[in-house]
A and B are shown apart, each in its own frame.
Chain A
């Protein structure tokens, strides 16, 4: 009886601790419904600084990452929580004017169904609205890759590469679950190889892309997938791996000569 009670208490404690293990990683690909941590003018100023940096570099397409959580709260090898394409665009305002600026092409989780994602367009200030740290990771691809990325983004392939079955730690080498970094990587693969054939894209990712191991206790991972719908291991045949801004950055720096990587923090 005593052993039974103690076992139950330990199991409950274990499950409770494990259920919150991914809390820090949660809401990684969420829209601007996140809570704001900075004054609006700080976010506005930073977002415009990022835009102006991209514009000064003549970037028609860039890959931009944000920190939804402090780096100290994330597993090893992960610094940013969400990635999107920034595309130089003609923007139509509510009062009918057309002005140049950047639009953000995101894969966001649905607020009420975090295991489902949508492709959502917003703008830099919306993108950075709920960040925990005002810091942006930027990859500016080579001119040739930028042109090919634009071709993909402007084609049905961009949406066709989207799988709405979301997992925070989606495996970029397999199908069935996807997160923002995997979709970004797939779009990059479609651009590089000028194809919409997902099998060919995945084959090349397996051959040339080095994913980030998810360094979390397997037991915690299994329990996390039980308690959080946004975490799934259904697409992880072995030790779990996922794509990150850092691994995409390494991939492009290796294979896309002329690409540039930088970090932007608020100007003093």
Chain B
């Protein structure tokens, strides 16, 4: 009987503390369900890709300061936009050119359509 009473008291105290904290700033998290990351049909990435306003990016290589693109033989790609080549050699803090296009990761269905081998992705550190 004594043990049961102690257990009851302990749980009562603990429970009251929990419910009280539910009303506080940090406790408001209690009321929200975790959003599953597996709802592909409603996923944010799917919605963005389906908007038709984005361009799929295959890879990205840091444009190092000084004109050398990491992962290459030591020279900027001949296909690099003039703006990016110029900007890469400028000191840090000099305004940089960026594309007006919105780049997104390639959705799996698009990747399956692409028969050409993707350019080597810089995997240094990734």
Binding site for B on A (CB under 8 A): 3-4, 6-7, 10-11, 13-14, 17-18, 20-27, 30-36, 40-41, 43-44, 47-48, 51-52, 54-60, 69, 72-76, 87-103, 105, 109, 111-112, 119-123, 125-126, 129-130, 143, 146-147, 150, 152-159, 215-217, 219-220
* CB-CB under 8 A for A74 and B35, given A55-B97, A89-B63: no
Contact of A215 among B12, B26, B30, B99 (CB under 8 A): B26
Within 8 A of A (CB), among B4-19: 4-5, 7-8, 11-12, 14-15, 17-19
Binding site for A on B (CB under 8 A): 1, 4-5, 7-8, 11-12, 14-15, 17-19, 21-22, 25-35, 37-40, 42-45, 47-48, 50-51, 53-65, 69-71, 77, 79-81, 83-84, 87, 90-106, 110, 114, 116, 118-119, 121-122, 124-126
- Do the beta carbons of A103 and B60 come within 8 Å of each other? yes
Docked complex Cα distance between A233 and B77 (Å): 47
- Do the beta carbons of B95 and A36 come within 8 Å of each other? no
Docked complex Cα distance between A109 and B79 (Å): 35
- Do the beta carbons of A44 and B125 come within 8 Å of each other? no
Docked complex Cα distance between A44 and B5 (Å): 59
- Do the beta carbons of B124 and A23 come within 8 Å of each other? no
Q: Chain A residues near B12 (CB, 8 Å)?
A: 10
- Do the beta carbons of A89 and B61 come within 8 Å of each other? yes
Docked complex Cα distance between A34 and B26 (Å): 23
* CB-CB under 8 A for A147 and B62, given A93-B57, A112-B38, A126-B105: no
Q: Chain B residues near A58 (CB, 8 Å)?
A: 90-96
- Do the beta carbons of B45 and A32 come within 8 Å of each other? yes
Q: How far is the CB of A60 from chain B (nearest CB, A)?
A: 5
Q: Chain B residues near A216 (CB, 8 Å)?
A: 26
24 residue pairs bridging A and B, Cβ less than 8 Å apart: A7-B7, A14-B14, A24-B28, A36-B43, A36-B44, A44-B48, A44-B54, A58-B94, A91-B60, A92-B57, A93-B56, A94-B57, A98-B80, A99-B99, A100-B97, A100-B98, A101-B103, A109-B37, A123-B105, A125-B103, A129-B44, A143-B91, A159-B124, A159-B125
- Do the beta carbons of B126 and A88 come within 8 Å of each other? no
